[in-house]
Copies of this chain bind each other. A is one copy, B any other.
Amino acid sequence: MEGEPTLRLRVFDLNCWAIRYLSKRRQERVRLIGDTLRREGFDLVLLQEVWSEQDYSDLKVKLASCYPFSHYFRSGVIGSGLCVFSRFPILDTLLYQYSLNGYPYMLQHGDWFGGKSVGVSMAVTAPLLSLSLQLHAEYCRDKDAYLPHRLVQVWELAQFIRHTSKAADVVLLGGDLNMHPEDVGIRLLRGWTGLHDAFAEATHFEGCKNGCTLVPDNCFTDKSELLPFPLGVRIDYILYKAISSFTVKCEELKTTMGPAPGMDIPFSDHEAVMATLHIQRQGQPASATLGTADLALADVVTEARTEVGVGLRAAQRQRYSSGRMAVLALLLLLLQAVAALGTLAGLGAEQPFPKLSFCLLAFLALGVLVLATGLHLFHTMEVKMLHGTEDQMWMALRALQERP
């Protein structure tokens, strides 16, 4: 960017909802996304939920001429679903996996299998650190069992950004954060990293009301989920931040509004977010201005820490009950072993030994033992991670309070 006073950067972000066999009209939509990206010629494209590597490869071939650089982030059982296409060379990539991401046994909420992660790519423009990510989904807003996991993810993400962003001039984050703008997670992320919300800062906005990205007008959205929010919800974001001697301004923000331009279907069940950013080199390095809102930030961290604490106690209860179940199953097995040995020794020989029900019971106990032990291990890890995050948040609070 040296010698170039202003860089105009056009960014595209979309949760593509491209799950093989499950997402409706997937191939048609992926084709449509590819055509639009080729026609529009953005500078940087951040996609989520591209679960099939074949879809990524098809997009890569189609977009090779206008986005010569791309990367697909592999992780988890079915992949991270994250990929990035760029007009500028991608110098380096890094994948950060959240330590917690739902439960493997909640098969209907497939988050765990996705190995959700932050895909980080360093583009050569300036050094631009761009992050593409998705956080754990919210399945029930009133009784959100995954809130502590999502807050651990937000905290890890924020810490990660704080630690990695010093190498960059501009940090750009695009993704499906699965949180409303006023939720504690978003406030924590913005407060702790100093990231700006492109929607709030945009000089010019065009798109769904309030910048919503999950709207009833979209034919693929689940209407019942959106009942409490007749206008829709905003859960996909483009956030940015300038480091060192740069300034970033959001000139324009757009969202798609249901059907893709000139087509009868939308790109996805989410709306795409498109931002035009102006990046300019300043005369002198900007000083860190985080300190101004320390008190408000301390409140947000305290609120998040309380929620993580609630999750910690729930995880401790689950760890305890799965441990107890494992011990009971073990006791039952031991009892059976004693009974079997007794029979072999000739005790109670006057009655026929109930072989079949004995076998069934033994296998049942064994199954419960294996399952409960697995659960116990899993919840032990969960407790460790929630506890660790609570600790880190406490350290952050202390640092905030001790600041002059």
**Partner-contacting stretch, out of A71-79, A140-148, A336-344:** A71-79
A92 to chain B, nearest CB (A): 7
Is the C-beta of A93 less than 8 angstroms from some C-beta in chain B?
yes
A96 to chain B, nearest CB (A): 8
Closest B residue, CB atoms, query A122:
B163
Interface size class of A (residues with CB under 8 A): 35 or more
Q: Give me 26 A-to-B residue pairs in the complex whose CB atoms sit less than 8 angstroms apart, sorted by A's number.
A: A71-B395, A74-B385, A74-B387, A75-B99, A75-B385, A75-B388, A76-B384, A77-B384, A79-B384, A90-B395, A91-B399, A93-B395, A94-B160, A94-B392, A95-B388, A96-B96, A97-B99, A115-B384, A162-B167, A163-B164, A163-B167, A164-B164, A166-B166, A167-B167, A356-B359, A359-B360
Closest B residue, CB atoms, query A117:
B99
B92 touches A99 (CB 8 A): no
Report if A92-B162 is in contact (Cβ < 8 Å); known contacts: A75-B99, A99-B97: yes
Residues of B within 8 A of A370 (CB): 370
Residues of B within 8 A of A399 (CB): 91-92
A399 to B159, CA, bound (A): 28
B163 touches A388 (CB 8 A): no
Residues of B within 8 A of A159 (CB): 92, 94
Is the C-beta of A58 less than 8 angstroms from some C-beta in chain B?
no
Closest B residue, CB atoms, query A91:
B399
Contact residues of A between 367 and 404, Cβ < 8 Å to B: 370, 377, 380-381, 384-385, 387-388, 391-392, 395-396, 399
The residue from B122, B166, B384 contacting A167, defined by CB atoms under 8 A apart: B166
Identical chains in the assembly: 2
Is the C-beta of A120 less than 8 angstroms from some C-beta in chain B?
yes
Residues of B within 8 A of A388 (CB): 73-75, 95
Is the C-beta of A39 less than 8 angstroms from some C-beta in chain B?
no
A246-259 Cβ-contact flags toward B at 8 Å (1 or 0): 00000000000000
Is the C-beta of A139 less than 8 angstroms from some C-beta in chain B?
no
A91 to B403, CA, bound (A): 11
A158 to chain B, nearest CB (A): 10
A62-89 Cβ-contact flags toward B at 8 Å (1 or 0): 0000000001011111010000000000
A377 touches B77 (CB 8 A): yes
Residues of B within 8 A of A77 (CB): 377, 380-381, 384
Is the C-beta of A363 less than 8 angstroms from some C-beta in chain B?
yes
A252 to chain B, nearest CB (A): 30
Report if A381-B115 is in contact (Cβ < 8 Å); known contacts: A359-B356, A363-B363, A399-B91: yes
Residues of B within 8 A of A356 (CB): 355-356, 359
Residues of B within 8 A of A93 (CB): 392, 395
Report if A391-B74 is in contact (Cβ < 8 Å); known contacts: A91-B399, A166-B166, A167-B166: yes
